[in-house]
A and B are shown apart, each in its own frame.
Chain A
Amino acid sequence: MNKAFLVARHEYVETVRTKAFWLGILAFPVIISLAIGIPMLLDKTKDVRKYAVIDQSGFLWQEIETRIYLEDVRNVILASRDKRKKGGEAFDRLPEVVRRLTLAWMALGEDSQDAFVSRLGGQRSGSATRAGQEALWDPETDAAEFLASGNGDQLFAWWRDTPIDDMSDLDIDLARRQFLVVEVPEERRSAEELNRMVADEQLFAYFVIGQDPVAGSEGSKYVSNNLTDRKLVNWLRGLASGVVREHRIASESIDASVARWIQEPLRFEARKVGDEGTEEEVEAEDTARQWAPTAFTYLLWISIFTGAQMLLTSTIEEKSARIMEVLVSSVSHFELMAGKVAGVAAAGLTVVGSWAVFIFLAVIAVPILVGAPSLGFIGQIIADPGFLLAFMVYFVLGYLLYASLLVGVGSVCTSIKDAQGLMMPIMIPMMIPIFAMVPVSQDPNGLFARVMSFIPPFTPFVMMNRAAGPPELWEYVATTLLLIGAIYLTMVGAARVFRIGILMTGKPPKLMEIIRWLRIDPAVNPSTMEEDS
């Protein structure tokens, strides 16, 4: 089979010289970089909505600001807790006061955590954020010490004074990234002045809080020229309503804890069942894990299709350039076909392998070498060796199946145009796994997904798609065996068509004619398989 190797090497070298090959290698890093880079860029350049507030009540705005602060503190704690859980340096890079805050919060029971945060608000404003102050409090905790030793002020100073760009390095998103309040000097707080600022786009909007917001909405208004983007008004209205509600509860002498209990929504905590059948917490990775197979399936489809297409093109080129006959006078039909299939497979694996190297560099090596933050959990999912292994295996198997079909098609056609007609019956089954992608990933172990896995042309894509399930081992084994059997049959069929097809010129044969060829026993060709002895 030395000759088949020569053909394969030739095919590989010629493929590597084509533009399509290099486009294939480059396309993936470019697409991934854009997919990750563009949202980041958009995020960075996103306009901050600037707004002003005229508070005629004299108290409401100050309490709203406290709530903004507390909301940010909660987000800071959650982000920082995730870093702590994940381990590594990310947590150590946080400011000391944030680290202490997080550790103190984590040491508390779920009931006390909210109270602790509310107290931070109370400390800051000196006034009542009542719910927190009345909650049970154990002075022996870290949290109590945190509050007692003046860390609350330090935290507030950090929150108030740190430029937003420094915070973004810590992956902590604060409200003021989106909505920034502008202090308007006393002398300019007239309606005309503010209207002018809105018209000049110095302000996105301004709020006027009426004289007695607790009594009703009279005198409160929101002025903006952008009436479609309602995020700012919704956000601030939510906060203001909360404050007003608290005041109303207090004025009606309803016990704060009762009021809180009445307002407490029912939460369903998302859990999943782990490998040992125990419940586990759901983390961001888990969501990505459901999503990653879909991306891999699509990638797999593109790689297989590109590889098989390359083979089709090169077969037709050899036919239209009239090189086939010289080749088959030197090597057997089978060696020629096997060499071509293997050569293009090697080129395809080179492309896919280069992607793997790129992922490895981007996800693992770069953060280690440069110390830059990694691509995060998405990157870690992609770098999961299980996914990559399955991807490689299904690439090779799927490629072999479709390559043998397309090499058969290529062998009977003299031009790409001829091929298009015959490609239809192959393209349609190839499209089905793409259409089935969403239903399969929603129910990876459902009946539909299982049935699809056992249809060989769909097996690579559907099994890849189901990886989040994941399917049971016997399913992997059974579908793969079935797929290998199908590959063997298509290879034998393709070899029969190839043998007759490559020396044909002119109009491609009808499908019925090709089916007739499939029935021709290769025994007529006794020595095809045993040359070069």
Chain B
Amino acid sequence: MENAIELENVVKSFGAKVAVDGLSLKVPCGCIYGFLGPNGAGKTTTLRMVLGIFYPDAGRISVLGQSDPASVKERIGYLPEERGLYEKMRVVDLMAYFGQLKGMSSGSARKRALDLLEQYGLGEWADKKCQALSKGMAQKAQILATLIHEPELIILDEPFSGLDPINRDLMRDMILQLKREGGSVIFSTHIMEQAEQICDRVLLINDGRKVLDGELSDVRSRAGKEIRLDYDGDGDFLHGLPGVARVNDSGKQAELFMEEDADPQAVLAALVAAGVRVRRFDLRELSLHEIFIRAVGGAKAAAGDTAGVGEMQGEGKDHE
């Protein structure tokens, strides 16, 4: 089994709304894979189809080598965006129950629950009712419950949202730990920086359609580079520089978007030759935000009806 997940032309609609529209992708085993996109892009729907909670209207899904996602539920751990606990249950009972639902025996689920709680500092809370936990502790218990059956594949829907800083670090460490142990992790987020930090591969999705996907480094290098230039002099010469696809000139400052495989060195040489006084010459890769905004063409960002898009708007406005 090479790929943890394969999707081929998957379509899912709810009434008149097409949530996922012809999506194809492959998630190789043993990697951390990010589903990126604004709220409402179809991330959760895609994850739910992978989990067998929803069934696609068309297309093919294979999970852990099986064509029926429902048959591998026990090998997957899932932490939904909306997550809660049975208030009246004791913490250890709750975790053991979730473990049993994943096919563990009662005894081993219990033992593993106690081990995990001990390991993550909730040992003394094992026999308390869930309603006694603080919000941070409850979040931790939810994360641990996802791992109780040592799944091969972990699916996390917006795992960082609502977490306090300590649990945010715990979540990050756990994702990295799972990868080290050979597991595959898929998570969705609308906050691109998080993905940039830990993802091996990403999928950018908007309006149910794939914008682009691939290894993070590939995605970024494919997107090209950008030069930030602070200068004094006439801006006319900026147009017609070698290897520059587009220019965003503000008079004293300019952004030069490079063509693929263009040599920034040549641009610098041309500037110097034209007698421009260069005060700053800053070559950098595009952030995922910028890549996303550019790829989508800003239409979605301009509509800006959700928090996620708003966030991206804030950082994307310089570029378009």
Contacts and interface: CB of A to CB of B under 8 A. Distances in A.
B84 A323 contact: yes
B76 interface: yes
B177 interface: no
A190 interface: no
A391 to B, nearest CB: 31
A326 B55 contact: no
B82 A329 contact: no
If over half of B's interface residues share one DSSP class (helix, strand or loop), that class is named, otherwise mixed; here it is: loop
Contacts, number: 69
A329 B146 CA distance: 11
B88 A14 contact: yes
B86 A323 contact: yes
Q: Which of A7, A328, A526 has the most CB of B within 10 A?
A: A328
A214 B263 CA distance: 141
A499 B20 CA distance: 19
Interface in A288-343: 318, 321-323, 325-332
A328 B69 CA distance: 12
Contacts of B52: 329, 332, 527
B53 interface: yes
B98 interface: yes
Interface string A8-50: 0010001001000000000000000000000000000000000
Given A329-B73, A524-B57, A322 B82 contact: yes
Contacts of B83: 322-323, 325-326
A332 B52 CA distance: 8
A55 B56 CA distance: 101
B95 to A, nearest CB: 11
B55 A526 contact: yes
B71 A329 contact: no
A331 B101 contact: yes
Contacts of B101: 3, 6-7, 327, 330-331
A528 B53 CA distance: 10
Contacts of B76: 329
B57 A322 contact: no
Nearest to B78: A329
A505 B97 CA distance: 24
A533 B73 CA distance: 12
A329 B89 contact: no
B28 interface: no
Interface residues of B, number: 29
Contacts of B86: 14, 318, 321, 323
B264 to A, nearest CB: 48
A525 interface: yes
Given A330-B102, A531-B70, A533-B71, A14 B55 contact: no
A17 B70 contact: no
Contact of B80 (A326, A525, A526): A326
B176 to A, nearest CB: 23
Contacts of B97: 6, 10
Nearest to B81: A325
Given A6-B101, A10-B97, A531-B70, A329 B51 contact: yes
B167 interface: no
B173 interface: no
User: Chain A interface residue count: which class?
Assistant: 20 to 34
Nearest to A3: B101
A525 B55 CA distance: 6
A330 B73 contact: yes
B68 interface: yes
Contacts of A7: 101
Interface in B77-110: 78-80, 82-89, 97-98, 100-102
A528 B68 CA distance: 10
A525 B68 CA distance: 11
A331 B100 CA distance: 11
A527 B68 contact: yes
Nearest to B99: A330
B195 to A, nearest CB: 22
B98 A326 contact: yes
Nearest to B68: A527
Given A10-B97, A329-B80, A531 B53 contact: no
Contacts of A533: 71
B78 A322 contact: no
A6 B105 CA distance: 11
B55 A524 contact: yes
Given A323-B84, A325-B82, A531 B71 contact: yes
Contacts of B70: 332, 527-528, 531
Interface in B49-76: 51-53, 55, 57, 68, 70-71, 73-74, 76
A325 B85 contact: no
A430 interface: no
B55 to A, nearest CB: 5
Contacts of B73: 329-331, 531
Given A331-B101, A527-B70, A322 B84 contact: yes
Nearest to B82: A322
A476 B57 CA distance: 45
Given A326-B98, A329-B73, A321 B53 contact: no
A14 B89 contact: yes
Interface in A496-532: 503, 505, 524-528, 531
A505 B53 contact: no
A327 to B, nearest CB: 7
Contacts of A332: 52, 70
Nearest to A17: B88
A233 to B, nearest CB: 64
A365 B89 CA distance: 38
A525 B53 CA distance: 10
Contacts of A323: 83-86
B78 A326 contact: yes
A330 B82 contact: no
A402 B317 CA distance: 57
Contacts of B53: 325, 328-329, 503
A449 B238 CA distance: 94
Contact of A330 (B55, B85, B89, B98): B98
A270 B33 CA distance: 86
A320 B185 CA distance: 28
Given A524-B55, A524-B57, A531-B71, A325 B80 contact: yes
B79 to A, nearest CB: 8
A329 B85 CA distance: 15
A524 B78 CA distance: 23
A526 B74 CA distance: 19
A467 B177 CA distance: 67
B116 to A, nearest CB: 16
Contacts of B55: 524-527
Contacts of B85: 321, 323
Interface string B27-61: 00000000000000000000010011101010000
A309 B80 CA distance: 28
Contacts of A528: 70
Given A14-B89, A329-B76, A6 B82 contact: no
A525 B69 CA distance: 12
Contacts of B82: 322, 325, 505
Contacts of A503: 48, 53
5 contacts: A318-B86, A326-B80, A329-B51, A525-B55, A531-B71
Interface of B: 48, 51-53, 55, 57, 68, 70-71, 73-74, 76, 78-80, 82-89, 97-98, 100-102, 145
What 8 A-B pairs are tightest by C-beta distance, nearest first? A322-B84, A329-B78, A321-B84, A325-B80, A330-B101, A322-B82, A329-B51, A527-B70
Given A318-B86, A531-B70, 7 more contacts: A3-B101, A321-B87, A327-B101, A329-B53, A505-B82, A524-B55, A531-B71
